Structure formats: structure tokens, C-alpha cells
Structure 1
Amino acid sequence: MLTAERYITLLNHYAGPVTGEQEEYEVALEDLTALFHCTERNVKLIVRKLQEEELIGWIPGRGRGNRSRIQFLVKREFFLLEFAKRLAQKGEYRYAFEFLHQYEEDKLILEQFIKWLNNQFGMEKLSDDIQARDVFRLPVYKAPLSLDPAELYYGFDSHLVRQMFDRLVQYDSEQEAVVPLIAHHWESNESGTEWTFFLRKGVRFHHGKILTAEDVVFTLERLRTEKMNAWLLSTMEQAEALDARTVKISLRQPNWLFPRLMCSSCASILPSDLGGQNESSYWMLPSGTGPFRMAVWNSNRLELTVNDDYFLGRPYLDGVKLIFLPDNIPNISKLKWEQLIANDSRIPAKAGEDWQRIETLSKGCSLMTWNRNKKGPQQSLSFRQAVNLIIDRIGMIQHSSKSGYPARSFVPQEETELGMFWYDLDAAKQLLEQSGYDGSPFLLVTRDTDADEAEWIQKQCAKIGITMHLRYEERSALTRVETVQEADAMLTCLVFADDEVCELESYLQANSSIYQHLDPGLRKWIFQLTDQILATKSKEKRRALLRQIEYRLRDEAQVLFLIHQKLSTYVHPSVRGLVINNLGWMDFKDIWLTSTNERQLESPVRKMKKSV
């Protein structure tokens, strides 16, 4: 990359943005030493390197006062585009964008690169002497923060964990029942304080170790020890291996929801030997029992390869390549790639008539939480209600780059699409006056990817004289307790992959903004109800208790529900088995490719020397 930067530096300095064919320019070595901030000896080495790469022609000056002459052999636009392609083909996608963003005046080149890159995504047939390999290559705009099940916070990370690991049991949303996974059977005592799980035979980790009860005990003990998701095992007293394939879990109080909790990605089973590595080394390329194993994980991409010996049957795909792209790619360019278009339903998708359309409404919503443990205007109920009434959800949807419906609760209800929402400017002004608001600002913290919504709320608040300051944080910072506690309010998005479990997680996970922002009295009341929920056998009664919590949070304007996001996915007819799961992602193990779509990825038009 250094050679490329030096070539562009020379080109910009002598030729400017436009160069003619085979033009020559006079050069003095002392000028180059200043340009590259190095000695004359190093300048000569740089010139020789550029000549070897066939990027420049160089005619040395002979005699005193005769300057050397330089000729640029590759046009600027062609060089920038081809070098970016080279980086991408080496898997250095982020570097490719960083390289092009240095030359923002060449926007056409960036557009050409994105167009070329879009053609690299989708199903890829790789042929060798033995057999063809089907690899699914797709772009993502957020790299996983953690793949440690005990430290999961974001939905995308949870989805990836499910590709590489398995749980004791899993939840089937169609049957609305817990079904076998690693455990083929489970049972409890009459009081729901002891649960026994019976494990399948022959389940292997990716590094070859047979899964036993020892691995389950190790995982559960590790999970409950100072981990972000330790709340899952808050009622556990002991996990015991009765034999190699039987685990007994003793609880300190009845918990009829325990098998449901074990469906969580956070309860994915790890090998007790960590693949013969220490913790830090293990998480660089973790070994699970899932349908795919990790092959590569770095800042540019994550690659999964098929687990041929998966106990529930080999997946159809041979591999999955996730390419991490920067967020600042224009939205219209993000949406289109050759065999699958995932887009906002308000943006026209150029899909064929025979393409399948999958429309999903997110189970979860975007929301605001108020920090009741910090001094500020948010301590007033009237103030919180005023902000709730000033937020025009319909207007926010129209303003933002997202599509969806106004939210009145955590998950979409039957009336979600009927347009029921709050917005009352006059009532908001009256409530603000009642609150005694003195003009003090409040701080809203969120991610920069939610800037559209945050800025919309800021403008709405300004309409009635409320001053709101914005602070954007990285995804990793939003999982830290100190960040949550510093905010007067937080704008976030919750995805409820497993409704009961995820709702409880919002109240009980120590890092969540809902948990951290509850005042002590409200938190104590919620804890009492969650104990009742765990001890209740009836799903209907558990649901009623959960609604009590949600309604109180809504009535006290502790949580302001905003938008249920809607996503339309268009799938080429050659891609089969694609289903959007509750995490808003596709389960890779069920995807397969018909023979009508065999192709090789496009290669660059011109080959440049590899060392550039």
C-alpha cells in the first residue's frame, strides 16, 4: 500500500487530477526529498521501486543543472480503482475503502468500486479437481463485538454464535415449544427446582472432542461467574454431571422457565478444555458443535466453513464469508447485490418478477430510556410525558432511512399496523409547563447509525423549548455500565429473538439501559415480579405478569417506544431455503443453491504487480 500512496502523491504533486497520455514532467531530487520527507538515497530507492512496478518512466538528468524527467504510466482513475479492487480481492475490504476515501474528490471512482464490489456478493461456485464448493458471500456493516456466549449483547453477534455453537435445547417458534438440541430429553421434579438433561451421543466439537456432561457443567459454572449474562442462572445453586451424558441442575427456587432460558444463545455449550488453549487464544478461533466452524476472523472479514460431521446433518453450503464494510457507504449502494436484495421497503428494489419477497416486521423496537438515577429534568414524570408526546413517530419514519410502524410496546401487537400512536404538541407544551422545566439540557446517548432518529427527536424537542444534547458512541461503549450511567437518556434498539427470555433480559441484564436507568423502587418491584414469572407454570399467566411490567414502564414514561422496523428481502430464484429468523438474519445451514446460478467471481481487467 505504501508504494501506491507514493505513486498517487507524485501524481497529485506533478500532474494534478488530470494527466495526458505519456506526458513528462521535470523533477529535482531535492524536491522529492521534501515531498517524501526522506534522504536523497531513499528517494532513489523509491524511484527504482516505482520503475520496477511499471508505474513510472524515469529519465535521469545528466550533468549539472539538468533535471530528471518523470512519466506517469498509469492513469490516476484507473490506478485508484484497480488498486482498491486488489485490496478487496486480498480480503482487505476496509483498507480498500479507507484508501479511496483519501481521494473523496474522485466520487465516480468510489461509485465504480461499489458497483464492482456488489457483483462480488452472493453465491459463489468454487471448482477444484474434486468437486464444486458453494460459498455464500455477503456484506455486513457491523463486525461482531463478542462471540463469547456469556458476553453477548447484540443480535448479530447472537446470530453468529448460533452458527458455531449449540444449546441444550432450542425454541421452535412455529410450535411455540422447547425442542431437543444437544439434550434429547429433559425432566424436572414436582417443584421445578431440579432439572435433569439427557445428552445425545456422538456430538463432537469442531476440534474433535466428544461433548459430555462435563462440558455442560463447565459452561454453566462459567456463565454464572461475573459474566454479562449471568442473570440467566440467577436461581442456580449447582450443576452436576451424574454421568457422561446426564446433567442435573439444582435451583434455589422454582423456575418453570428454566428450559426456555437454556434456549438462549448465551447458554451455548463450550468445550471444557477450550480446545487445549487459554481463554484469549480460544476466542480468536473458537470451537463449538454448530453447523459451521470459524476459519478466519479479523477486522476485514469472518469466514465460516462447513462442519461435515454436524450431528443434525451437514449443511448444504460449504462456507460463508461475511465481509465487514464501513457504515459510510451511500445507502443506495448498500442495498443491491447480485442474488439477494435486503432493503428498506420504501426504496424501489430492482428485483425480477420471479424473485421471492420476504417481508418481516422486527420482533422488538427502537426506544428511549430515561436515567432515573441521575439528577436532571428527566426526574419529572410530566417532562418525560411531554417528550413522549412531542415525538411524531410517523414523521420520524418518513424522515429516517428506515421503514416500519410506530411502536406502543416491545413487540408488535395486532393493532401495530393500524397507526395507533401518540403525538400531541399542545398537550406536550402543557405537560412541560407543569414540570417546571427550567431550560436545562439533557444528554441523549446513542450510536451514530441511529443519528437520523436522534436528530429528529432533538428537533422535535426544540419545538417546545427543550434543549437536548447528543453524544454518539461506538457499539462497544454502549455495553459498558459507565456509559449508560452517564446518559440522561439512551436511544437504542432491542431485538426479541425469544420473547419471554429477551424481555426478562432487558430487566435483569446488568449492562442494559433499561436495568441501569430504573430507580431503586421500580427495580425492586420488577425483581419481585420476575421471581413470580419464573415460578409460574402457565405461559398465559407469565405473559400477564410481563405485561404489568411493560404497562408500568409505559405509563410512567420510563421507556418511550418508538418504531418497529420493517425489512423487505428479495431473493433470486436460484437461492433456496432462505428464511429470516427471529434475530432478523438468515440461518446459513438451510440455504442451498440451484445449478442455474454457477458463476466465477469477476476478476480485475488489468493485473498489477502484487507488491504494489
Structure 2
Amino acid sequence: MLTRERYLTLLNEYGTRDNPTELTFVQEVTLQELTKLFHCTERNVKLIVRKLEDEELIRWHPGRGRGIRSQIEFRVRRDEFLLEYAKRLVDKGEYQTAFEILNQNEQDQEILEQFIKWLNGKFGCSEEPISSTNCIDLFRLPVYRPPLTLDPANLIYGFDAHLTRQIFDRLVQYDSDQNSMVVPMIAHHWDSNQDATEWVFHLRKGVRFHHKRELTAEDVVFTFNRLRERSLHNWLLMTMDRIEAINPYTVKIHLKQPNWLLPRMLCSATAAILPADLVSQNEEMFWKLPIGTGAFRLTHWSANQINLSVNTEYFLGRAYLDAVEIVILPEDIPGSSRLKWEKLIDNEARFPTKPENDWNRVEGLWKNCSLITWNRNKTGPQQSLSFRQAVNLIIDRTKLIHDEQQEFPARSFPRDPSFASGTFRYDRDAALQLLRESGYDGTPLILVTPDHLYEDAEWFAEQCDSIGISIEINCVTNNICASEDIGPEADCMLTCLSFADDEVCQLETYLQRQCHIYQHMEHNLRKWIYEIIKDILATPSMEERSALFQQIEFRLHDEAQFLFLVHRKVSTYVHPSIRGLGINRLGWMDFKDIWLTSPICDCS
């Protein structure tokens, strides 16, 4: 690849960008000029020239005689070379570099569009040859934001949680398809005493980590103690007093107060069980390539891609796929150019794509909610209830759905199908009256939002501007948005929350100290919610718990703490030969269940 980098250097120095399709051209040069260009000796320049000739990129015509300059004959057109160079980088797994090269060296988008069209065929499910007689079933998909962490104890984003679920397992899992039940995973059985202050979990035998060691009760004890002491999610074990290993396959958890939701809470991705030996030995090294018991093991993690290989000894049954390759692409690829896969089309509702007629459509509602949260711990217009109510009335959710092709308006955290768009009040006159009552003086409010929600933030700012409210948008990266410092600095934040498990995710929203929603609630509201949550945990009836959760939501509505926007619909078109693909509660595809019914490549 170094030789191609040098050819590109020559093109940039001597070639013309006005006519990149010119077949060949000749440039007069001297060896002295090339030593300066390549920052090397004349001897090394001659070696470089010879290598460029060997790869048929140039012809070198040495100047003979006094005053006769040497000539370079460029043999590969600029556009042809850039496209071929980018493809070679992709074949080496250097996706980010390929896009950087194309963006740096072309003013127009023609070559980039050709490259993206070629890249289409690289994604989706396929049978990839690994030898002359064998193939593997590979699922390759693009993402536009890399994971922030794969440490279950510090998860913030839905994609990160989805990846950890492929690599790690929990004691139990929540199955919304089975009457919303908690079902066995690492633990095959569990029970509690009469008041739910002691819980015993019985572990399966033969569950092995990817480094082949059997999982035991000591791993569970280590994981839960770590989760309680060193985690963003220590709220998950807020009721735990202590945990003990009764024997290698039994753990007992002693609680400080009743908690009927403990098994449900342990379904969270943050409660994934870690190998105590490896984490204790060198934790920093462990998280560079973490090991779990999941259906897939992590084999590669870089800025360009993440590779997963099937765990052939998985205790819940081997996955049908042999490997998953997650390619991390630049975030700034325009929506209109985002990849429409040849074998599988990832189609969020905002980028509709019509596939071939025989393709199957898989549809699901990602249980997420986009919302504005008001910082009531910072001075500013947002301290006024009338102001917050005014903003709520100026948001025309019907228009938002039409503009953004979102599917459902949001009135609460998990989607309630009974809330039709007609039940949402839009009243400009009432909003203006409330704004006058608030005494708003035109002070700009700082709205912080992650980069990928910028268009939604702009739309919100336009709605506010229509009644004279000034919004200054501060777009930040996911890393910055996840930091503890950014929330308190904002007057308001636009965020999107994922709800894989309804009750548990609502608890997280109210209790996770780094969550911006928690940071923005004033002290008395937090304290009141905490007391309600203690009652929720002590209540065995789901119906009664739901009523308590509603008490919290009603107060949040009354105080206009949040401004709910939309729930997003996710749909995917699938090639007929691909089966088992569905959209899970995190809005992603469960890799374990995907399989192929017929060959997509010829391995013979």
C-alpha cells in the first residue's frame, strides 16, 4: 500500500484535478525535486521509482544529456486509481481511511458515489469462502458510531448494550414474547423467601467462558460486588446487602429491603457475568478484548471494525452464523448516500428504500423515546412552569411525524398505542399567553444534543423561534454527551432513551446518577421519586407497580419536567434466503438467530 500512497502523492503534486479521466499524461521532473517531495535520499527515490514501475503505475523516462529533464508518464487515471485504492483499503479493513482518502482528494462526489455503490455489495449476509472447499456464513453490517464501552457496568448507549448481549450473558433474561416473563439463562432456577428479602439462584453446570473455564458462583459474586461498588449502574443493586456463594453452582443474595423486581432487574445488560480471574488479573488489558460466555466471542476491536466469531460450545445452542463483522463508517456520510445493502437493507423510517418485490419486510417498534429534558438545577427561563408548558404547546407533533417520517408521537416513556396523534394538543395562542405569564425576556437557552440528533434539534429550535424563544444548539459527540459534566451545564437537552425492559429502564431513568434526566430533576422531586420506587420494589403485583409508575409520570407531566417527542419505527428489508432476522427491544438484530436457507456464493 505504501507504493500506492506514493503514487497518490505524485498525482497530488503533478496531476490535474480538472480532468481526472485523462488517460495518461507526462510530467517533467528531476531527481532533486522528488527527493524533496518524498523527503528521502536520491538513492531511495530511485528505489521508489523502480517500485512504481514494477506495479505499472508509471513509466520513467530518464533525461540524458545536459539540460534534458527526466519524465514521469502516469499510466493510471486519477479517478480509476482513487477508486481502486479505496477498494484495496476496504479489503484490508481500513474503511475509515478509504473514506478519508476519497474526501481529501476529490471535490465532487462522483467517485465517492461509485465507491458507495460498490460497497453496497459488501454488507449483509453471505457465504464467504475460507478455502477452496469451505465457506462460512458471515453477517457484515455498517454502523456510524463506534461503541463507547463494552463494560456492562458502564453502559450508556443502546448499541453498546446490544453488543455486550452478544458477548456476555446474565443470570436471567426478559422475554417479552413469552408473556413478558423472566426466563432462565445462566441460572436455571431461582426463588425467594416470603417477603423477597433473600433470593437464591441456581446456576447451570457446564457454562463456559470463551477461554474455556467453567463459570461458577464466585464469578457471580465478583461481578455483583463490582457492579455495586464501581459502576454507573450501582442503582441496580441498591437493595443488596451482601451476596454469597453457597456452593459452586448456587448464589444467595441478601437484601436490605423487599425487592420483587430483582430477577427482572438482573435481566439488564449491565448485570452480565464477568470472569473473575481475568478481570482481577489485568482489568485494563481485559477490556481491550473482553471475554464472556455469550453466543459470540470478540476477536477484533479497532477504530475500523469489530469482529465476532461464533461460540461453538454455547450453552443455549450454537448460533447459525459463523461470524459477524461490524464495520464502523464515518458519521458524516449524507443520509441520501447511506448504504442500502445488497443482501440486507437497514431502513430506518427516515431513509425509506424500496427493495426488490420478493424481499421480505421485517418491522418493529424500537422502544425508545426522544425527548427534551429541562434543567431545573440551573437558573434560567426553564425554571418557570409556565415557560415549560408554553414550549410543550408549541410543538406540533403531527408536523414532526410528517417532517421526520417518525411513526408515533410520544406521551410517555414506553409507547402506549392508545395515544393517537389527535390526543396531543397544539395551541399557539395558549403557548403565547403562558410565555407572557412566565416573564420570558428573550434570554437564549442552550440546548445540548448528540451529533446524530442535530436535525431534530434544529426542528425543535424552529418551533420555539416561532413564538420568540431563542435556542442555541450545542452539538457534541457521544463521548462528550455521556460525560457527567455536560448535563448540568445545559439549560435543556435533546436525548433519546432506549427501553429494552420497560420497568427496569424506567427505574434506570430515575435512579442512574449520570443520566441527564436524573441530573436535571430538582432535589425534592428526586427524593419523592426515590420513596415511590421503594414502594414499587416492595410490590409483587405488576398492576400495582404500574399504578405507582404512573404516579411518577403524572407528576412529571404536571411539572412539565420532560417534553416527549416521538417513538421511532425501525424496519428492515430482508433477502428471501435470510431467515431468523428480527428487531429486538434495543432496535437491533439478534445475531444468534440469523441463518441462510440457500447459498449466496459458489464455494465449489
Q: Is the shorter-chain TM-score for this pair beyond 0.5, marking a shared fold?
A: yes
Match of 1:585 in 2: 588
Q: What percent of counterpart residues are identical?
A: 60
Q: Tell me, yes or no, if structure 1 residue 102 matches structure 2 residue 104.
A: yes
CA distance in 2, matches of 1:441, 1:180: 52
1:11 deviates by 2.1
Matching of residue 464 in structure 1 with residue 467 in structure 2:
yes
Q: Is residue 2:458 matched to residue 1:455?
A: yes
* Shift in Å, 1:34: 5.5
Shift in Å, 1:47: 3.7
Stretches of 4+ moved more than 4 A in 1? 29-46
How far has the Cα of 1:167 moved from its partner? 0.6
Question: How much has 1:229 moved relative to structure 2?
Answer: 0.9
Counterpart amino acid of 1:573? P
The answer (yes or no) to whether the contact 1:340–1:570 under 8 Å persists in 2 is yes
CA shift in 2, pair 1:162/1:348, >3 Å: closer
Match of 2:228 among 217, 220, 224: 224
1:537 to 536, 540, 565: 540
Deviation at 1:326, TM superposition (A): 1.2
Displacement, 1:92? 0.8
Residue 301 in 1 paired to residue 294 in 2? no
1:275 and 1:287 in contact (8 A); partners too: no
- Separation in 1, partners of 2:97, 2:514: 33
Deviations 1:460-494 (A, max 9, x none): 21222211111111111112111111111111101
CA distance in 2, matches of 1:130, 1:346: 42
Aligned twin of 1:50: 52
Counterparts of 1:394 and 1:56, CA distance in 2: 60
Q: Once structures 1 and 2 are overlaid, which stretch shifts more, 309-318 or 350-359?
A: 350-359
**Residue pair 2:578, 2:596 contacting (<8 A) in 1 also:** yes
Q: Give matches, 1:513-592, under 5 Å.
A: 513-592=516-595
- Deviation, 1:126, is 2.7
The answer to whether the Cα contact below 8 Å between 2:23 and 2:76 also exists between their aligned partners in 1 is no
For the Cα contact (< 8 Å) 1:345–1:568, is it kept in 2?
yes
SS of corresponding position for 2:568? strand
Please list, as runs of the form range in 1=range in 2, the aligned pairs for 1:356-505 lying within 5 A after superposition. 356-400=360-404, 402-505=405-508
Q: Normalising to structure 1: TM-score of the pair?
A: 0.94
* Shift in CA distance, 577/384, structure 1 to aligned 2, threshold 3 Å: same
The corresponding residue for 1:82 is: 84
The 2-side partners of 1:587 and 1:599 are apart by 26
Seen in structure 2, the aligned counterparts of structure 1 residues 471 and 275 have a Cα distance that, compared at 3 Å, is closer
Counterpart of 1:15 in structure 2 is 15
In structure 1, distance between residues paired with 2:138 and 2:11: 40
Alignment-derived partner of residue 66 in structure 2:
64
| Cα distance in 1 for residues equivalent to 2:423 and 2:363 | 21
Give the CA deviation at 1:131: 4.0
* Aligned: 1:594 with 2:597: yes
Alignment match of 1:323 (pick from 307, 322, 327): 327
- Give the superposition deviation at 1:225: 0.7
- State the one-letter code of the partner of 1:572: H
Partner of 1:607: none
Counterpart residue number, 1:112: 114
Between the aligned partners of 2:554 and 2:578, the Cα distance in structure 1 is 43
Q: TM-score, normalised by structure 2?
A: 0.95
CA distance in 2, matches of 1:32, 1:557: 67
The alpha-carbon deviation at position 426 of structure 1 amounts to 1.6
1:591 alignment partner AA: I
**Does structure 1 residue 195 correspond to structure 2 residue 170?**
no
Contact 1:142 1:324 in 2 (8 A): yes
**1:333, 1:236 → 2: CA distance?**
50
Aligned residues: 599
Equivalent in 280, 287, 312 of residue 283 of structure 1: 287
Unaligned 5+ runs, structure 1: 601-612
User: What is the rounded CA distance, in whole Å, between the counterparts of 1:532 and 1:53 in structure 2?
Assistant: 74
Matched, 1:24 2:32: no
* Structure 1 CA distance for aligned equivalents of residues 56 and 280 of structure 2: 49
The 10-residue stretch of structure 1 (489-498 or 16-25) with the greater mean CA deviation from structure 2: 16-25
- Secondary structure at the aligned position of 1:597 is classed as coil
Counterpart residue number, 1:184:
188
Corresponding residue number in structure 2 for 1:133: 136
State the shift of 1:171 in Å.
0.9
Q: 212-221 or 7-16, which moves further after superposition?
A: 7-16
Shift of 1:101: 0.9
Seen in structure 2, the aligned counterparts of structure 1 residues 307 and 364 have a Cα distance that, compared at 3 Å, is same
The verdict on how the C-alpha distance between 1:33 and 1:368 changes in structure 2, with shifts beyond 3 A counting, is same
CA separation in 2, counterparts of 1:243 and 1:359? Answer: 45
Match in the other structure for 1:610: none
Q: Distance in 1 between matches of 2:429 and 2:335?
A: 36
User: Which residue does the alignment assign to 2:268?
Assistant: 264
Q: Secondary structure at the match of 2:487?
A: helix
SS in 2 for 1:273: helix
Q: Distance in 1 between matches of 2:382 and 2:280?
A: 51
Q: Secondary structure at the match of 2:105?
A: coil
Deviation of 1:266 after TM superposition, in Å, equals 0.4
Deviation at 1:442, TM superposition (A): 0.9
What RMSD, in angstroms, separates the aligned Cα atoms of the two structures? 1.9
From 184, 203, 214, give the equivalent of 1:210: 214
Deviations 1:121-166 (A, max 9, x none): 1122133366432111111112111111100111111111111111
